[in-house]
A = this chain, B = another copy of it.
Amino acid sequence: MSAFAPLANDRFLRACWRQATDTTPVWLMRQAGRYLSEYRATRARAGSFMGLATNVDYATEVTLQPVERYPLDAAILFSDILTVPDAMGLGLSFAEGEGPRFASVVRDEAAVARLAVPDMDRLRYVFDAVTSIRRALNGRVPLIGFSGSPWTLACYMVEGGGTQDYRHVKTLMYARPDLMHRILVVNAAAVAAYLNAQIAAGAQAVMLFDSWGGVLADGAFQAFSLAYTRQVLAQLRRNAPDGTPVPRIVFTKGGGLWLDDMRTLDCEVLGLDWTVNLGRARALVGGGASGPGKALQGNIDPNVLFAPPEVIDAQVRAVLESFGPPHTDPATRGATHIFNLGHGISQHTPPEHVSVLVEAVHRHGRRLRGAAL
C-alpha cells in the first residue's frame, strides 16, 4: 500500500518496462535549470547552488517548475551528482561561473585509505526532497532519482573539479590501479546505498549518470566504469516500499561504442547520446517480444533547441524515425523509446523552444503509432 497518490501518467514507466504507450514519453536531462526564469528566481532566493540543493522546499519547487510549464512525462529530482563525495567529507563548493570544486582531492594512498561510504544521514536532505517532491507531484508524473556513476564521481574526487584532459584521474588509474579500484569499490557501495535510500523515499525510477565513462580507453572502460556500474546495479533494491518494481536507467555519455558490453547490464533502460544511431542501437540491444532487451532513452543534440521551431520539429521527427516503428502491441513487450536530449539542456536555451520540442515528440509519436497500427 502506497502513501503516495496513484500515478495519472504512466507513459514513462511503461516505456521503461518495454510496454506499448499511446505516444513516445519525453523528459529532458537537467530540465530544471538556469534556462528557466522561475529557476533563476528561486536560485537567487536560495543564495547559492548548494543552498538550493540542500533545501527541501527549494529543491521541490525547482523540480516541479518544468513539469508545470511543459507536458513532460517524468520529473527528475533536482540535485547534483557530487552530493555523495561531498558527504564523504571532500568539501564541495560552487564558485560562480566556475563549476564544482572540492576542498580535498583524492590522489594518494592516505587519501584513498580515508575514504568510506558516508553515513546516509548526511544525505538526508536529498531523501527528504525526494519524498517532498513525490508528494508535490501528487501522481501527475513519476519521479526519477539519480546518482553519478562510481567512475564519474571518481573523476571529480581525483581531479578536484572539472577537467579537460582527465590527467590526474587517469594517471592514478594507470599508475596505481589498486588505489583506483579501492575508490571505485567505495563509490559503488555509496552510490547503491544512496539510490536505495532514494527509492525508499519515493523515487519511482533511478538513473546512473556515467557522464565521463566515454573518456576511457577501450578496456579501461570495461574495467573501471562498467564493472562498477554493474556493482551498483547488483546492490539496488528492485522494488519500492509499496512493492512496485523500480526501473533502472544507465547513461554513459560517449559510450556508443560499448553498447554490446552494456547489453548485459542488469538494467531496464540505456541512455544514449546524439552520436548513436537509435535504429542501430535498437537492433543491438532493443530485444524482441520476449527476452531481456533494453528500452532506449535519448538522444537529440541539445543544440537543436537553438534552431527555429520548424527545424526543431523536423529534427524531433528524424530522431523518432531513426528509432523506427514504435512497439504498439499491448500484449507483448518490445523495443521502446523514451525521448530525451543526448546531454543536459543548455542554460542558453529559449524556454519556448522546449515547448515546441515536447509537443513535437508527442504529436509525431502519436502519428507514428497510427501509421504502425
Which A residues are closer than 8 A to B by beta carbons? 165-167, 170-171, 174-175, 214, 216-221, 254, 256-257, 274-277, 299-301, 303-304, 306-308, 311, 315, 318, 322, 342, 346, 348
Contacts and interface: CB of A to CB of B under 8 A. Distances in A.
Contact of A275 (B216, B308, B346): B216
A216 B274 CA distance: 7
A184 to B, nearest CB: 17
Nearest to A216: B275
Contacts of A306: 167, 170-171, 174-175
20 contacts: A165-B303, A165-B346, A167-B346, A170-B301, A170-B303, A170-B304, A171-B303, A171-B306, A174-B301, A174-B303, A174-B304, A174-B307, A175-B307, A175-B308, A214-B275, A217-B342, A218-B274, A218-B277, A257-B257, A257-B275
Nearest to A279: B218
A315 B218 contact: no
A181 to B, nearest CB: 15
A275 B167 contact: no
A219 B342 CA distance: 14
A300 B174 CA distance: 12
A254 to B, nearest CB: 7
Contacts of A348: 167
A219 B322 CA distance: 10
Given A170-B301, A257-B277, 9 more contacts: A166-B303, A174-B303, A175-B311, A216-B275, A217-B275, A218-B275, A219-B277, A220-B301, A221-B275
Nearest to A167: B303
A175 to B, nearest CB: 4
A277 B216 CA distance: 12
A166 B275 CA distance: 14
Contacts of A346: 165, 167
